Amino acid sequence: MPGNNKVGFISLGCPKALVDSERILTQLRMDGYDIVPDYAGADVVVVNTCGFIDLARQESLDAIGEALHENGRVIVTGCLGAQAESITSVHPKVLAVSGPHAYEQVVGQVHEYLPPPPKTHDPFSDLVPPQGIKLTPRHYAYLKISEGCNHRCSFCIIPSMRGDLVSRPIADVLEEAERLVNAGVKELLVISQDTSAYGVDTKYQTGFWQGRPLKANMQGLCEALAEFGIWVRLHYVYPYPHVDNIIPLMAENKIVPYLDIPFQHASLPILKAMKRPAATEKSLQRIQNWRTQCPDLTIRSTFIVGFPGETEDDFQQLLDFLEQAQLDRVGCFQYSPVVGAKANELANHVADEIKQERWNRFMETQQAISTSRLANKIGKTIEVLVDSVDDQGATARSHADAPEIDGVVYIAKDEELEPGNLLKVTVTDSDAYDLYAKRGRRYPQKISN
Ligand code: SF4
C-alpha cells in the first residue's frame, strides 16, 4: 500500500479524552503518519476508550470489536486501558493497550506496529497547523489544565484510571491558549477533573509567562486567560471558598459568567456518602452571594438520583434545593453501579423503579425552572457565538450555553452569518431549553425542527 503509514482513529468519551485524542493525532501527524477516516484504508486503528460508567465501557468494547472485525490491527488507549485485562479478556487480539493521557506510550506502540515513514519533511511546518490538530470546530477548543484528581468520590473510578491531580505548568497552558487564539479560536473551554484544584499539587508554584511571574492557581490562571480577550468558560468547578475570587472577573465579563459545578446532590448525608469535595449545607448561600455580585451568572450542574441510601426525605431535599437555587442548566443521572467503585458496597440500594420515578420528578421540576428562566430573557440583547449555519438559520450559543451539553440560540435566517461569528442578537422567544433570536428589531417565528 502506498505510503504504508495510515492510521485510523476512533475517539470516544468526554472532552478530556478528546483533548488526549488531539494530542495523539498531532504527534502522529508530526511523525509523518496519514490519518484516514475509514477502516479499509488504515494500516492500524487506534481506539481511545472511555471507562467511566458501564454503558461507556460497553461502547468502548464494542468499538474495539468492530475495529478488530473491520481492520484487524487495533491499538487501544484511554480510560478503559487503565484496566487492560478488561479489554484483553474480551478482545485478546488487540496489539497493545495503554491507559489515559499516555501519549508517548500509544505513539510508541503505533511506531512499533507501523514504523513511521522516513523523515523527509519538517514536521512542524509541513503537516501540523501551529495550534495542533483539533477535533472541535475552528472557533472553540478545550483547554486541559490538569490531569487526574485527588478526590475519591465513592461512585467514581476516575482517580484509579487517571491517577492523582497533576497540574500543567501555567506557562504551558497559556502558550497553548495563545496558539489556539492565534489560530482563530474564539472560545476556550477550560477542563480538568477539578478546575478549582488547579495548582494544589505544585503548591501553586509561580510560573513565568511573557517575562512576568504568575501564580499557578485558579485565580491566576483565569486572570491571565482573560487577557486574551476571548470567551473563557470554566468547567468542573467545585464550590470551594476561593471560587468566590473568580466571580468579580465574571461580573466584569473578563471571563464568561458561567460556572459548571457538579453538585450531585443536596442532602448532606448523601453528599457525605458520596464523599463529595466541598460537601456543605452552605451551597445555597454561596449561590445567592455569587448572583448578587454577578446577576448574569449562569450555573450549570449535574445530579445523581437514586444513590444508595437515598430516602424520600433526601430526595425531597434535592427538589427543594432545585426550587431554591434556580439553576440554569441541569443534567440528571440515575445512579448505576460502576465496576470498582466504592459506592457499590454501600447498603440500601434504591430499586430501579424508584430511581426512574425520582428522575421523572426531578426532570419535571427542573424543566419548569429552566422554562421560566429562559422566558425571562425574551426582549434582552445578548452576545452569541455562531456554531453552524444552514438554510433555516444559524445555531449559536450565548454565555449561558456550553457546546454539546447546554441549549442553543436559534437565529432566524440571515445571509451574512458564518460559523465563528460573534454578534449581538435580541431574544424573541424561548422554550424549555433553547432561545430564539434575531438581529435587529423585528421578532421572528420559532424555527421548527
Ligand atoms: S471529583 Fe470525584 S467525581 Fe470528579 S473525578 Fe474526582 S473522584 Fe471523580
DSSP letters for 426-438: EEEEE-SS-EEEE
CA distances from 51 to 9, 82, 100, 335 (A): 18, 9, 10, 16
- The three-point CA angle 252-255-257 to 5° equals 75
Phi and psi of 425, rounded to 5°? Answer: -135, 160
Sign of CA dihedral 435, 439, 441, 445: negative
pLDDT given for residue 25 in this prediction? 87
Lowest mean pLDDT of 289-303, 405-419, 434-448, name the range: 434-448
User: Which residue type, as a one-letter code, is found at position 162?
Assistant: R
Ligand 1 atom nearest the C-alpha of 264 is: 3
In tens, the pLDDT along 370-399 reads: 999 999 999 999 999 999 999 889 999 999
pLDDT given for residue 383 in this prediction? 95
For a pocket test of ligand 1, which of 79, 151, 160, 162 has the largest count of ligand atoms closer than 8 A to its C-beta? 151
Q: Report the candidate in 329, 278, 271 with the shortest Cα–Cα distance to residue 301.
A: 329
pLDDT given for residue 377 in this prediction? 96
Phi and psi of 240, rounded to 5°? Answer: -70, 160
pLDDT exceeds 90 at position 265: yes
Phi and psi of 410, rounded to 5°? Answer: -85, 130
Q: Give the count of alpha carbons within 13 A of 299, CB side only.
A: 25
For 85, other C-beta atoms within 10 Å of its C-beta total 8
In tens, the pLDDT along 75-101 reads: 999 988 888 888 999 999 999 999 887
In tens, the pLDDT along 423-444 reads: 999 999 999 999 999 986 444 4
pLDDT given for residue 160 in this prediction? 87
pLDDT given for residue 161 in this prediction? 83
In tens, the pLDDT along 25-71 reads: 888 887 888 888 889 889 999 999 988 777 888 899 999 999 999 99
pLDDT exceeds 70 at position 260: yes
Tallying the residues shown for the chain, one arrives at: 449
Grid-cell match 519538517, residue found: 122
How do strand 187-191 and strand 231-234 relate by DSSP bridges? Answer: parallel
| Summary mean pLDDT of the chain | 89
Protein residue closest via CA to atom 1 of ligand 1: 151
- Is 199 within 8 Å of 218 (Cβ atoms)? yes
CA distances from 138 to 7, 23, 39, 284, 387 (A): 23, 16, 26, 37, 10
pLDDT given for residue 449 in this prediction? 35
Ligand 1 atom nearest the C-alpha of 152 is: 7
pLDDT given for residue 115 in this prediction? 87
Q: Kindly state the cell numbers that stand for 24.
A: 495523539
pLDDT exceeds 90 at position 118: no
> Would you call 48 helix, strand, or coil by DSSP?
strand
- Class of residue 203 by CB neighbours under 10 A (exposed 0-12, middle 13-18, buried 19+): exposed
pLDDT exceeds 90 at position 249: yes
For a pocket test of ligand 1, which of 193, 238, 264 has the largest count of ligand atoms closer than 8 A to its C-beta? 193
In tens, the pLDDT along 165-220 reads: 999 999 999 999 998 898 889 999 999 999 999 999 999 999 999 889 999 999 99
Confidence label for 268 from pLDDT (cuts 50, 70 and 90): very high
Residue 264 DSSP code: B
How large is the average pLDDT for residues 400-406?
A: 93
Each as own residue / partner, the long-range contacts of residues 124-129 (CB below 8 Å, 24 or more positions apart, any chain) are 124/30, 127/29, 127/30, 127/32, 128/26, 128/29, 128/30, 129/183
pLDDT given for residue 448 in this prediction? 38
pLDDT exceeds 80 at position 298: yes
pTM: 0.81
pLDDT given for residue 443 in this prediction? 41
Sheet of 140-144: strand order equals 140-144, 187-191, 231-234, 258-260, 298-305, 329-334
In tens, the pLDDT along 316-352 reads: 999 999 999 999 999 999 998 888 889 999 999 999 9
For a pocket test of ligand 1, which of 158, 235, 237, 276 has the largest count of ligand atoms closer than 8 A to its C-beta? 158
pLDDT given for residue 444 in this prediction? 42
Sorted by sequence, the CB contacts under 8 Å of residue 408 that are 6+ apart come out as 387, 395, 396, 397, 401, 434, 435
The pocket around ligand 1, CB under 6 angstroms, is made up of 149, 151-153, 156, 158-159, 193-194, 277
Lowest mean pLDDT of 31-35, 416-420, 445-449, name the range: 445-449
How do strand 6-11 and strand 74-78 relate by DSSP bridges? Answer: unpaired
Protein residue closest via CA to atom 8 of ligand 1: 156
- Is 397 within 8 Å of 233 (Cβ atoms)? no
- Is 264 within 8 Å of 224 (Cβ atoms)? no
pLDDT given for residue 18 in this prediction? 84
> Would you call 413 helix, strand, or coil by DSSP?
coil
pLDDT given for residue 208 in this prediction? 92
In tens, the pLDDT along 121-177 reads: 554 445 566 667 667 777 999 999 998 999 999 999 888 888 899 999 999 999 999
Report d(CA 233, CA 256) in Å as an integer.
5
CA distances from 260 to 97, 212, 256, 298 (A): 33, 30, 11, 8
